[in-house]
Structure formats: structure tokens, C-alpha cells
Amino acid sequence: MDLVLPALVTIVSLAIVAQHAWAGKGHFASVTLPRGATLLMVAVVTTSLAYVLLTWRLPAMVPAMIAALVIEFASLVLFWLAIAASRKARLLLAFDANLPHSIVQTGPYRVVRHPFYTSYIVFWIGWAIGTWSLWAVPPLVLMIAIYVLAARGEEAKFAATALAADYQQYRRQAGMFWPRLTR
């Protein structure tokens, strides 16, 4: 068990990062890679490398690694639900300077305005737990900060579009990253 769980956490985590990378090329409609997205990619690669090293710190914390796998699979389900709901919307990459042209309100978007970012945040929380190290906290905080900045930037861009009023109504109905408890 000393090698199986770290190997499993590493393989699953890197497979999820690869799926996120695929979405950047295969799902989102940005023409060029925005500078902020490039910085995000650097943060993802750096954090992934750090978390791989921390994951292999022995002895493995079995409960933390099992929790990591459960949390990561939950993030993956949300990720693919967001893909399915936004397939026809032609969403833009994080930090794209272009203005949004549609509002998706189906699937997980019914309750969360940014299900992709939520899935990414949940994933990084899971992997951080799997490392069972305080050294995982600073990269986790950095990743969350980047996703919050990206989401806030996207929301600000809606104000400059014909969708501004509809988006304001949508904000009252759906939480930014977590479902609203009251409506």
C-alpha cells in the first residue's frame, strides 16, 4: 500500500490535469492563448510538479490519499458536466480579452456561474489534501487566487455587453463558485 496509493493519486491527478489541458485546446473557442492563460499554465505545471513530489513523501497518509481520490473524482464529474452543458456555447479561455457572447444556464450552470473554475478549485483542494503537507497550501492559495481573478474578470466583461441585464439576473440566481443557499 506504500506505493500503490501515491501512484494512484499521481496517475489520477495528472490525468485530470491532462483533461483540463485538453479543454483548453478542444473545448474553448479563444483564437489565441491569452497571456494570463499562459501564466495559469505555468502555475498549473509548477503546482503539479510540487504536488507530485509531495505525494511521494513517505510514508503515505492513506486516509488523506483516499480522500484526495474521492474529491478529485467529484471535481472530474463537475468538469465533464460543465463540458456537456457548454459544448455549443463556444466559451472563451480564462483571461481572454474578448467579450462574452452567451450565458450558459443549463447543467451545473443552473446553480454555479463558474463550474469549470469550481471543478479546478475542488481538484486542487483534493490533491493538496492527498499530499498531507503544509507545503501544499501556498500553491493551493495561488491557484484559487488565479481562478477568482479570472472569474471576476469574466464577470466584469459582461457589463460591457448586451447581456449585462440578463447576467445581473443570473448572478442573483446562481452562486459564483458554490450554489446559493438562499435565492
- pTM, two decimals, is 0.95
Question: Where residue 175 falls among pLDDT bands split at 50, 70, 90?
Answer: very high
Return the ∠ at Cα 53 (arms to 49 and 58), rounded to 5°.
165
Residues 46-100 pLDDT 10s:
999 999 999 998 788 999 999 999 999 999 999 999 999 999 998 999 999 999 9
Query: At a CB cut-off of 8 Å and minimum separation 6, what does 70 contact?
Result: 126
Output the CATH code of domain 4-173: 1.20.120
Q: How many other CB atoms are there within 10 angstroms of residue 25's CB atom?
A: 10
| Contact (CB, 8 A) for 154 and 120 | no
Residues 118-172 pLDDT 10s:
999 999 999 999 999 999 999 999 999 999 999 999 999 999 999 999 999 999 9
108, three cell numbers: 451545473
